[in-house]
Amino acid sequence: MSEQWWKESVIYQIYPRSFHDSNGDGIGDIKGITEKLDYLKKLGVDVIWLSPVYDSPNDDNGYDIRNYREIMKEFGSMGDFDELLEEMHQRGLKLVMDLVVNHTSDEHAWFVESRSSKDNPKRDYYIWKPGKDGREPNNWVSAFSGSAWQYDEKTDEYYLHLFSKKQPDLNWENPDVREEVYQMMRWWLDKGVDGFRMDVINFLSKDQRFPDGEAEPGQRFADGGRFFVQGPRIHEFLQEMNQKVLSKYDILTVGEMPGVTVEEAKKFTAEDRNELQMVFHFEHVGLGDGPNGKWDNLPWKMTELKEIMSKWQKGLEKKGWNSLYWNNHDQPRAVSRFGDDGQYREQSAKMLAVCLHMMKGTPYIYQGEEIGMTNVPFPSIEECRDIETLNWYEERMKDEGVDSAKLLEAIYARGRDNARTPVQWNGSEHAGFTTGEPWLSVNPNYKEINVEKALADPESIFYFYQKLIELRKQEETIVHGDYQLLLEEDEEIFAYTRSMKEETLLIVCNFSSNAQKRSFGNITDGKHQQLLITNNRKRTGQENLSEVALQPYETFVYKLT
Ligand code: NOJ
């Protein structure tokens, strides 16, 4: 497969609202990011993906865009943005924007026109339908609870919103909509941005019959996913976007795709199909989902995680490209979800980093992950800010006999605000994030976990990530080697190899809080071994790998030649 810069890069995601506030209004901003570029440079990342910074009424924190060509007032001005881009490029950093074009805000000028009358030229920019038997046009549920349709009195019709009612879905069947989006994309690319992360991009094409989903007994709403997840024209739309826009620039493209399968991902990312470079799938972060989705938070097994990761590694090996992530602004914190955020926080955060960064694909680090930030036990629903969480809680509380403590427990485990608490920069008030009142409270553990402390400790998680990123630049097997899972049935150890030419990397991760013993003799036999990285200070590199003792959450990588 061909070599490209985005395969060798490590990407850092910034959720601007929570990153760093430069003006004391309690909300992170663009100048705040510019002030921290040297920190990110020190970490060693190559690319920054910015969650949306466009003008927005913030029903969904910027994922509801009112004007694609303006910057959100709370975040600063276009001048601030241009300065950020320039400062990044000067440091050799690339900037990837969030592209949210499945929907806009209901305050976007297109929608304001669209809803004004049935014969407005922009009516068809969105998806309008008359009601059926005095109810919604179909039974689809919104991702943020309730019907996916909103009645609009003015024209006596409903519009589709797969997310909040302030996020009406654009009508991609309309060529004018597509042309407007392409123009807007070119506008940003001509400014010099280096790519797009595309929000729910596999939802663009809807089955034009808009059939009902299959409702559970007694339920009014149903998941309509099979009528819009990889809908009928999705590949056509992305090929058109590629041909008209993406192919004209040397950029990075990654599609966020809930519900995508390996087979579909091959189509989206195969080089000869000219669609996207990589996708975010949701299978590993969906572990433990039940009939009520993530809020069920059921137990899951390590072998399931290994099976999912390996399926994607093998599936895209020669046919596409993986993006690698444990968490982002929609997911709980990696160390809380997949590691141990108590006694073994540091050990397990490092172990998770190795496990992910040694796989084949482009790794993503979510802000704060590099210092091992954790989930937050919000004491009450009043502390939460996320629309998904708040709507779900309100909906559930309508049912009789619901225990609010149980709901909060689920929110603590899986809610999106876990990832959105401000980055913990130091031990001063509000963790040095703001001099004002933060829009979402700081995690109370900020005195213990913060950037200043991490930078002062040569053994910190931060420097471990730094080393991993350096390794990627030195060892081409990390980027291009083939993946092979070891110890498939093991419920504690995630071990695999990456091989290329005469070289093999052996990656071993203990996902348990117990010491373990395993043998890797059949792989290391007769080979020269070099220890590349480990979180076990006592490991010398000379160990006999045919009988190896692992500490709780230990990880190591040996290069065998
Ligand atoms: C996915 C984004 O990551 C999430 O934050 C947002 O709420 C939805 N798409 C809707 O835009």
User: Which pLDDT tens digit goes with each residue over 451-464?
Assistant: 999 999 999 999 99
Rounded to a whole number of angstroms, the CA Rg of the chain reads 24
Ligand 1 atom nearest to CA at 100: 11
Q: Which residue in the block uniquely carries the two structure tokens 């309100």?
A: 394
Is residue 256 classed as helix, strand or coil in its secondary structure? Answer: strand
Please tell us whether the domain made up of 109-160 is placed in CATH 3.90.1150.10: no
The domain 481-560: what is its CATH number? 2.60.40.1180
| C-alpha distances out from residue 417 to 18, 59, 335, Å | 10, 14, 15
Please compute the mean of the pLDDT values over residues 47-64 and round it to a whole number.
98
Supply the pTM of this predicted model.
Answer: 0.98
Confidence at residue 1, expressed as pLDDT on a 0 to 100 scale: 53
> What tokens does 441 get?
């409270």
CA of 487 to the centre of ligand 1 (A): 36
Name the amino acid, one letter, at 95. L
| Tens of pLDDT, residues 71-100 | 999 999 999 999 999 999 999 999 999 999
Rounded Cα distance between 397 and 86, Å, is: 49
Q: Quick one: pLDDT at residue 241?
A: 98
Q: What is the pLDDT of residue 318?
A: 87
Say how far apart CA 69 and CA 64 lie, in whole Å: 13
The alpha carbon of residue 531 and the mean position of all alpha carbons in its chain are separated, in whole angstroms, by: 31
Rounded Cα distance between 12 and 46, Å, is 8
Residue 504 near residue 526, CB atoms below 8 Å: no
Closest CA to 245 of 193, 303, 320: 193
**Cβ–ligand 1 contact at 330 (below 6 Å):** yes
> Is the separation of the CB atoms in 432 and 425 below 8 Å?
yes
Strands 493-500 and 548-550, by their bridges, are unpaired
Q: Reply yes or no on whether the pLDDT at 426 is more than 70.
A: yes
Confirm whether 256 is a catalytic residue.
yes
Q: Find tokens 């597509």 and name the residue.
A: 178
pLDDT of residue 214: 96
- Ligand 1 contacts CB of residue 203 (under 6 A): no
- The string of DSSP codes covering 299-366 is ---HHHHHHHHHHHHHHTTTTS-BEE-S--TTS--HHHHHS-SSTTHHHHHHHHHHHHHTSSSEEEEE
- Residue 446: is its pLDDT beyond 60? yes
CA of 199 to the centre of ligand 1 (A): 6
* Residue 349 to residue 337: CA distance in whole angstroms: 11
Q: What is the pLDDT of residue 160?
A: 99
417 lines ligand 1 (CB under 6 A): no
Residue range 200-241, pLDDT digits in tens: 999 999 999 999 999 999 999 999 999 999 999 999 999 999
Q: Of these residues, 46, 80, 106, 256, which one is catalytic?
A: 256
Q: Is 199 in the pocket of ligand 1 (CB under 6 A)?
A: yes
pLDDT the model gives residue 319: 86
CATH classification (class only), 5-104+175-465:
alpha beta
Give 246 Cα–ligand 1 centroid separation in angstroms.
22
Of 13, 51, 96, 163, the one to substitute when testing ligand 1's pocket (max ligand atoms within 8 A of C-beta) is: 163
Sign (positive/negative) of CA torsion 517, 522, 526, 531? Answer: negative
**Angle between helix 302-315 and 262-269 (nearest 10):** 30
Our CA angle for 198, 200, 206, nearest 5°, is 120
3-state secondary structure of 98: strand
Strand bridging mode 149-152 / 195-198: unpaired
Query: Any idea which residue has 């038997």 for tokens?
Result: 133
* Domain boundaries defined on the chain: 5-104+175-465, 109-160, 481-560
Q: Is the CB of 63 under 6 A from ligand 1?
A: yes
Q: How far apart are CA 477 and CA 470, in angstroms?
A: 13
Task: Please tell me the residue having the least CA distance from ligand 1 atom 6.
Answer: 63
Give CA 413 to chain center in angstroms.
17
DSSP helix/strand/coil, 484: strand
pLDDT at residue 525 in the model: 84
Provide the pLDDT for residue 561: 96
| CB 60 near ligand 1, within 6 Å | yes
Average pLDDT of the chain, as a whole number: 97
Q: Indicate if ligand 1 lies below 6 Å from the C-beta of 163.
A: yes
Assess whether 156 carries a catalytic annotation.
no
Distance 258 CA to ligand 1 centre (A): 10
Q: What pLDDT, in 10s, does the model give residues 287-303?
A: 999 988 999 999 999 99
CA distances from 363 to 134, 280, 314, 352, 479 (A): 49, 11, 17, 12, 10
> Would you say 529 and 541 are in contact if contact means Cβ atoms under 8 Å apart?
yes
